[in-house]
Structure formats: C-alpha cells, structure tokens
C-alpha cells in the first residue's frame, strides 16, 4: 500500500475520531441537569444495582402491553457502567452514550460502502447532532441500545466478504436486539429470512447459533418458567387486546416520529424524509444489483411491525429502521452533491436546522416537570438530613416519600437515590398509611390541600411542619401525623 493511500486512510480516520469526539461532547454537555431519570430508569437501575451485588435475574422490564417481560440483556450490558460509577443515577446515561459513540465508526463504514466517503461523513454528522439520538443518549431506556445492535447487524449482513464468525456476531446482536423491545422480534425474523433468501446454509446456521447465545438468558427463563413469556406474547397477539388507534392517526404519528430524526414533529417533513429514504434504498439496491437486500428486508420488517401493532406509534417503536434512514439520507444527499455543488446550500440549511433543534436537549427534560437530576439529588440530601435529625432519638420512626409530579406518585427516582445511602430507608410505596412522617415533592404553584393522591390523604388535614424550596418551581414539604389538625381553609 502506497504512502499516499496510507496518508489518506489516516486522514479519514482522524475525521471519524473528530466527529466521534464532537458527538461525545454534545452528549456529555450539561448531562447532570439534562439526563432523564424517571420511574422507568429508577426501576431499571434497581435491577442493575442488584446484578452488580450478585442478585441476578433472567427477566428484563415488563413490556408496555400484555403481561410479558423483555429479556434482561440490557441490564447485564449496563452492569459494568454501574460498577464503574458506583450505581450513580447517571450510569445508565453513560452506557447509552458509550454505545452511541461506538455506533458512529460502523455507521461510517456501512454508508461509505454504498455511497462513498462523502456520504459516510455526512451520515456520522447527522447521527452526531440528531436531536432524537441526543435525547436517546440521556436515558437508560431498554429500547435505545437497539441503535447500536441494528448498526452492527446491517454492517455485517450488507457486506460481500463477511466471514462465518461475523454471522455469529450478527446472530448474537439479533438475540440481544429482541430483548430490547418486543416489536424488534419482527426485525430479527426478517434478518433470518434474508439469510434464507441468500441460500447459504453455513452462514444461516452461524446466525442461528449466535442468536441462541444472545437469547440464552431469555431462553433460560422460559425453560425455567414453563415458557411464560412466549405464552403471554402468543395470548396477546391472538386476543388482539390492547390499545387500538385509528389508521389515519397512526400514519400521522409514524411520519411525525420519522421527522423527529431531525428535530421536527411535522407530518410533511416526515413524509419528505421517508420519500428520500425510499429513494436511498433504491440507490443501494441498484448498486447491489438486486432488489431484495438487507435494506429492503428491514423496510419490510418496519411495515409488518406497523401492521401488527395497532396502538400509538412512538419514536422507539420504529427504532429498528432509524440507522437505515440515516444511511439512505446521507447517500441521497451525497449523490446530489456529486452532481451539483449547489446541493451544499440545502445541506447547510438542514444541518443548521438540526443544530438549532438540539438546544432543548441541554435543559431539564419536559418529562421531569422541572425536577431535574440535580434537583433530585438535592431533595434526597434534604430528606437524608431531616431523617437523620428526627431518628437521632428514635430509630423506629416510620417515614415515607411521595411526589405530585411526572404522572407517577411513587417517587421512584428519589427512592433509588436514597437506596444508595446508609440512611434509614423509607417505607415501601404500598405502605403510606403506616408512615408517621411523609415527605412530598410538589410544584410550588399547587396547594398541598389540592393534592388528591391517596398517599397524602392521611395527612392533608394537617399543615406541613416544614418546607424547603428545591428550585423556583418545585418544593419539598414534610407532614407529621401527630401534628395539630387544621381546617382545609387555613
């Protein structure tokens, strides 16, 4: 290999490194404040924390429909990060960020394979600054690692010189993939059908072997529990129970989800992006000289998943196709630039638009009701301090914590943060009536008398004995059962 070629390759990978570094900095910026830590993240963090303390599990989080569970693969993948960061609430976000950064070089290589280095660079840039992927990097949500897994699978299955061991890896990733979200079973099935279409017995067998290894925790759970999940999934599909949304609404939700790739929530933007994606897949198919390739099979998997699933379409329900969307968009734009330099103008506008849309990802997420990570930690510190104060003379005092925020009154994030301390722990969220003291996190603008949850019902006829401002919108108040009763009009 000539010195000139070596120099070119070195420059190429320096560019890849720079884009990875930019993506990393964007995702780490203000993470303490902008990370998403809701009840789902807290519950998953409990599970991973148990794993690193040798309390192993064969079940992942419960699916949002039916009575079945996802596999535990993501819990075990997160475990090293919880070990390194001592189960800090940000451990899950660090895991997501790591996987996303690891995705970028593979995204570059697969895009370059079909569109050249210019398209490869563009794919990386779109991924690095996509508001949707930045948002995904801020929460330990079970579905989000599918981005990395689908990238590896597409990279392997779209190659022409792939070795048998690589098909084992693709199968292994598919085994992990189906444990992230139940709709991704369909994608894994279509990857398998694609290999059957290729008529290579050895590669197909390698894929099945790798898939069996990746699925082994789930398989072990099924064998141990009389195929509970498989029976529950089958029952759910046969019964047709669950949310049913009108087709026209679901179509609008789908295109809105597509548009969020660039920070929009617009139907026409989503339709435009999807048309470009179809065109990009057609260009890839032309270069491969056959229409039935891994890209078209993935598109079929998307369509079948939308037919089978009848409920509300959210962005992570189509997560299996996002990487192919980015690859296709980058290839189409790369071809346009090759034909005319004027294509740089709309490209610059697109990238500036995406960059502008990223700003919301550096603030307290809207889901957190202005109660961000730093606020959660501060509230936990106040609770610990107060609990230490009133248990100094009586360690048998029973206390609990609740919140009137985030559509979940269990206050799971606070409970998880408290569980990392040695302070006397609150009662379970099913034991509010037994508490002598109750900490309540609420909006300042809402009177405590107007909180209607049953957790507070044993205390609402009494004034709080103390209150602490958390930020300009949120406060922490403390009730005591034996405090003097007051009128609701006081």
Task: Report residue 470: phi and psi, to 5°.
Answer: -95, -45
Which has more pLDDT, 24 or 6?
Answer: 24
**Alpha-carbon span 61 to 441, nearest angstrom:** 26
When pLDDT is averaged across residues 174-179 and rounded to a whole number, the result is 96
The domain boundary residue, chosen from 362, 392, 409: 362
Domain membership of residue 331 (yes or no) is yes
Question: Which position has the token pair 């330099």?
Answer: 341
Pair (42, 136) in one structural domain: yes
Q: Specify whether 61 is located in the same domain as 178.
A: yes
Q: Per-residue pLDDT tens for 240-275?
A: 666 788 989 999 999 999 999 999 999 999 999 999
pLDDT tens per residue across span 142-167: 999 999 999 999 999 998 778 899 99
Query: According to DSSP H, which parts of 130-200 are helical?
Result: 131-136, 146-157, 164-177, 184-198
Determine contact, residues 217/72, Cβ cutoff 8 Å. yes
The pLDDT of residue 376 is above 90: yes
CA–CA dist 139, 123 (Å, integer): 23
Order of strands, sheet of 437-443, starting from the edge strand that comes earlier in the sequence: 399-403, 437-443, 474-480, 466-469
The whole model's pTM is what?
A: 0.92
Q: Which two tokens stand for residue 249?
A: 């609404």
- Tell me if 487 is assigned to some domain: no
- pLDDT given for residue 486 in this prediction: 42
Determine, yes or no, domain membership for 421. yes
Same domain, 302 and 378: no
* Residues 6+ away with beta carbon under 8 Å from 323: 103, 107, 147, 150, 151, 154
pLDDT in tens, 90-121: 999 999 999 999 999 999 999 999 999 999 99
Percentage, residues of the chain above pLDDT 70:
95
Whether the per-residue pLDDT at 382 is higher than 80: the answer is yes
Q: Would residue 215 count as lying in a domain?
A: yes
25 by Cβ neighbours in 10 Å (0-12 / 13-18 / 19+) ranks as: exposed
Secondary structure class of 311 (helix, strand, coil): coil
Mean pLDDT of the region 382-398? 89
CB-side neighbour CA atoms (13 Å) of 243: 10
Please give the Cα distance from 360 to 367 (Å, whole number).
12
What is d(CA 480, CA 459) in angstroms, rounded to the nearest whole number? 7
Among 342, 362, 382, give the residue marking a domain's end: 362
The burial of 328, by beta-carbon neighbours within 10 Å (0-12 exposed, 13-18 middle, 19 or more buried), is given as: buried
Is residue 93 within 8 A of residue 138, CB to CB? The reply is yes
Q: Kindly state whether residues 302 and 436 are assigned to the same domain.
A: no
* Domain finish residue from 362, 388, 417: 362
**58 DSSP 8-state letter:** S
| Least confident stretch, 45-59, 202-216, 238-252, 334-348 | 238-252
Query: DSSP secondary-structure letter at 472?
Result: S
Percent of the chain with pLDDT over 90: 68
Task: Tell me, yes or no, whether 103 and 225 share the same domain.
Answer: yes
Do 337 and 474 share a domain, yes or no? no
Residue 485 lies in a domain: no
Q: Residue 227: its pLDDT value, please? A: 85
Q: What is the mean pLDDT of residues 186-195?
A: 95
Asked if the structure places residue 53 within a domain, the reply is yes
- On the question of pLDDT at 392 being above 80, the answer is yes
Is pLDDT at 2 greater than 70 in this prediction?
Answer: no
- The verdict on 229 and 294 lying in the same domain is yes
Q: Do both 227 and 306 map to the same domain?
A: yes
Structural domain span for residue 145: 3-362
Please tell me whether residues 336 and 376 are part of one structural domain: no
Q: Are residues 277 and 393 in the same domain?
A: no
Beta strands 474-480 and 399-403 are unpaired
Band of the pLDDT at 393, cuts 50, 70, 90?
A: confident
- Rounded Cα distance between 367 and 380, Å, is 19
- In a shared domain, residues 395 and 324: no
Residue 73: per-residue pLDDT: 95
Alpha carbon distance 407, 192 (integer Å): 40
Distance CA 208, CA 212 (A): 6
Whether residue 489 is contained in a domain is answered as no
In a domain, residue 221? The reply is: yes
Could you give the number of structural domains in the chain? 2
Same domain, 291 and 393: no
pLDDT in tens, 419-459: 998 778 999 988 988 899 999 999 999 998 888 888 887 77
């Amino acid at each position: 290999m000539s010195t000139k070629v070596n120099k070119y390759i070195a420059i190429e990978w320096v560019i890849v490194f720079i884009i990875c570094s930019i993506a990393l900095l964007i995702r780490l910026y203000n993470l303490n404040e902008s990370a998403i830590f809701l009840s789902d993240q807290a519950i998953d963090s409990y599970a991973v924390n148990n794993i690193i303390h040798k309390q192993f599990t064969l079940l992942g989080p419960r699916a949002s429909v039916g009575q079945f569970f996802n596999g535990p693969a993501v819990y075990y993948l997160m475990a090293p990060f919880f070990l390194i960061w001592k189960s800090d609430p940000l451990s899950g976000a660090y895991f997501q960020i790591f996987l996303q950064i690891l995705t970028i070089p593979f995204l570059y290589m697969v895009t370059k394979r079909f569109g050249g280095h210019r398209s490869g660079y563009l794919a990386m840039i779109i991924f690095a600054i996509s508001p949707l992927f930045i948002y995904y990097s801020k929460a330990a949500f079970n579905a989000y690692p599918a981005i990395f897994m689908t990238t590896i699978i597409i990279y392997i299955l779209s190659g022409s010189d792939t070795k048998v061991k690589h098909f084992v890896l693709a199968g292994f990733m598919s085994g992990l993939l189906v444990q992230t979200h139940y709709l991704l079973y369909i994608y894994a099935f279509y990857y398998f059908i694609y290999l059957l279409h290729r008529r290579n017995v050895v590669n197909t067998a390698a894929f099945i072997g790798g898939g069996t290894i990746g699925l082994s925790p789930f398989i072990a759970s099924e064998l141990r529990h009389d195929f509970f999940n498989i029976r529950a999934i089958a029952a759910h599909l046969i019964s047709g129970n669950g949310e049913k949304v009108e087709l026209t609404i679901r179509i609008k939700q789908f295109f809105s989800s597509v548009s969020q790739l660039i920070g929009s929530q617009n139907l026409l933007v989503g339709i435009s992006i999807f048309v470009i994606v179809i065109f990009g897949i057609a260009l890839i198919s032309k270069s491969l000289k056959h229409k039935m390739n891994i890209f078209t099979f993935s598109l079929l998997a998307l369509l079948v998943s939308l037919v089978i699933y009848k409920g509300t379409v959210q962005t992570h329900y189509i997560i299996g196709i996002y990487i192919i969307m980015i690859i296709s968009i980058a290839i189409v734009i790369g071809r346009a630039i090759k034909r005319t330099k004027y294509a740089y103008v709309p490209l610059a506008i697109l990238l500036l638009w995406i960059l502008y849309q990223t700003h919301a990802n550096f603030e307290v997420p809207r889901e957190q009701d202005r109660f961000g990570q730093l606020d959660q930690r501060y509230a936990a510190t106040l609770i610990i301090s107060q609990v230490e104060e009133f248990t100094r003379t009586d360690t048998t005092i029973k206390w609990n914590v609740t919140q009137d925020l985030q559509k979940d009154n269990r206050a799971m994030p606070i409970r998880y943060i408290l569980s990392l301390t040695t302070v006397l722990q609150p009662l379970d969220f099913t034991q509010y009536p037994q508490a002598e003291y109750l900490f309540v996190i609420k909006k300042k603008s809402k009177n405590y008398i107007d909180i209607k949850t049953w957790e507070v019902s044993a205390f609402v006829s009494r004034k709080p004995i103390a209150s602490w401002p958390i930020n300009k919108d949120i406060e922490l108040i403390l009730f005591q059962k034996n405090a003097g009763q007051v009128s609701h009009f006081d």
